[in-house]
Structure formats: C-alpha cells, structure tokens
C-alpha cells in the first residue's frame, strides 16, 4: 500500500456495478510479482482522508500495468503501477466507501510489529556471525573474543535483543486479543527493535572489521538490509510522535 502522506494520485469513479481506476501508485510492495494489489484510491470529493477507499485489484486486469521497478540498497520488490481505465468490480471494495484511511492506519499498526520481528531476525544473524568470528579470530594474545570491548558490545546486543523480543511479543499478544490500544505498543516494538537492530548490526561490522565489509559478506548484506526497516511502515521519527500522542498523565 502506498504512503498516504502525499496526495493520492489514483482516482476511482463509480459506474454501475464497477469502479474505473485512473492514475498511479508507487512504492507498491511486490508490484512486479503479486497476483493482486491492494490500493488506496480517492473515491469522493472530500478533502484529505475522508474521500479515500481501498480496493483489491487483480494485477492481470486490463488497464493496469507495471510502469516502474524501484531498485533499493537492499533487495526488495518495489514498483509503480499505472491504471488506465482499469475496471474493478464494486465487490472488490474493502470495507465501506470512504473508510480507506482508517483501514490503512490499522494495517500499518499491525504491520509495524512484524517489522520489529524482522529486525530481530536480522540482528540475531549479525550477532551470531560476529560472535563466531570473534571466537575464531586469533590475535597475538588470544582471540578477538578475549577483548573486553568485544564482550561488552556483544553483551549489549544480547540485552537489546531480549528486550526487543519481549516488546514484539507484547504487541503481538495485544493484537491477537484485539486490545483497542495495541497501536501504541506496536509502534514501541518497531521503534525499539529497528533502532537497536541497526546498532547491533553496526557493532557486528565493527567487530569483524574490514574483511567483512566487502560486498556480499554476511555483515555487509545485513547492514544494507536493516537500514530500510527504520523507514518503511512509518519512520522512527513518526513512531516517536505516535507514542507521544498516546501518553496520558
């Protein structure tokens, strides 16, 4: 689903039992491989979020095409879709007309927790690689593992990973039980997990040194992968604003 912080450039016009879509959507996940696309379109004259609705569009429909593939610093499937008189059955409307913004926000709130979970996986992989290398890398006086600064970095990584896993678990539990206020803890989980994962991966690169910053080495790949997690589904700055807006005295 495209970001909704900029004007929506896709319009859907009702024509009997169908909607006709015209415009473009960009930063669509899996745009070049998905069978269906979930898109946000303007269906009313109301300004801002009040005139937005969500549709499920068959990617093979006449009038929809992949107009751009977006290359990123780490492998991701992103692209832009162009709609030219694309006919979509009215039954493909998700929820009610004009509820698009509300649906999009709820989807983001749910997915933020999963981004935190992904960040933990990347960070654990980086920590394990750094630990294995540190214990095997011989120095004149022992191994890299024997250095106090190495142990300090890896200990901090373990503390952060444990805390992040607990926060993600709490958010997932609240979502499963349909807590009304789950969005706050989903944002907390994403913010903490992704920020800490960035630090853990950076520390792993620092520990293994120059030999592991070459292209396609595990720490180098993880370094590129983790950076985007602090941006999509809402940047770290946005998560801080959301969390602050949930605070009560």
**CATH code assigned to 10-98:** 2.40.110.10
Beta strands in the chain (DSSP E): 10-15, 18-29, 36-42, 52-58, 64-70, 78-89, 93-94, 138-139, 142-143
**What pLDDT does residue 197 have?**
97
Q: Give the CA count within 13 Å in the CB-facing half-sphere of 98.
A: 6
Whether 220 sits among the annotated catalytic residues: the reply is no
Q: Give the CA count within 13 Å in the CB-facing half-sphere of 217.
A: 18
Please provide residue 81's backbone torsions phi and psi, each rounded to the nearest 5 degrees.
-115, 140
**What pLDDT does residue 211 have?**
66
Q: pLDDT tens for the chain, 249 residues: list them.
A: 333 445 568 999 999 999 999 999 988 889 889 999 999 999 986 777 889 999 999 999 999 999 998 888 888 888 999 999 999 999 999 999 999 999 999 999 999 999 999 999 999 999 999 999 999 988 888 888 999 999 999 999 999 999 999 999 999 999 999 898 899 999 999 999 999 999 999 999 999 887 667 787 888 889 899 999 999 899 999 999 999 999 987
Report domain extents, the chain: 10-98, 104-245
Closest by Cα among 225, 232, 51 to 125: 225
**What pLDDT does residue 3 have?**
39
Select 104-245's CATH number: 1.20.1260.60, 1.20.140.10, 3.30.930.10, 3.40.1160.10.
1.20.140.10
Identified catalytic residue from 17, 84, 220, 233: 233
**What pLDDT does residue 212 have?**
67
């Amino acid at each position: 689903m495209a970001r909704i912080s900029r004007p929506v450039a896709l319009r859907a016009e009702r024509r009997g039992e169908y909607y006709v879509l015209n415009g473009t959507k960009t930063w669509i996940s899996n745009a070049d491989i998905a069978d269906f696309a979930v898109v946000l379109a303007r269906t009313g004259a109301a300004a801002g979020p009040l005139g937005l609705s969500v549709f499920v569009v068959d990617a093979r429909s006449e009038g929809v095409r992949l107009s751009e593939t977006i290359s990123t610093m780490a492998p991701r499937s992103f692209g832009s879709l162009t709609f030219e008189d694309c006919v979509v059955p009215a039954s493909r409307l998700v929820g009610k007309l004009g509820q698009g913004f509300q649906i999009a926000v709820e989807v983001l709130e749910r997915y933020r927790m999963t981004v935190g979970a992904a960040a933990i996986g990347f960070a654990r992989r980086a920590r394990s690689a750094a630990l294995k290398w540190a214990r095997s890398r011989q120095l004149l006086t022992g191994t890299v593992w024997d250095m106090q600064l190495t142990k300090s970095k890896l200990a901090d990584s373990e503390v952060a990973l444990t805390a992040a896993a607990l926060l993600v678990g709490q958010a997932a539990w609240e979502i499963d039980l349909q807590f009304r206020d789950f969005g706050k803890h989903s944002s907390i989980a994403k913010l903490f997990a992704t920020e800490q994962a960035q630090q853990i991966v950076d520390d792993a690169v620092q520990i293994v040194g120059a030999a592991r910053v070459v292209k396609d080495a595990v720490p180098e790949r993880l370094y590129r992968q983790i950076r985007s997690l602090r941006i999509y589904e809402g940047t770290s700055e946005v998560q801080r604003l959301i969390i602050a807006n949930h605070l009560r005295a």
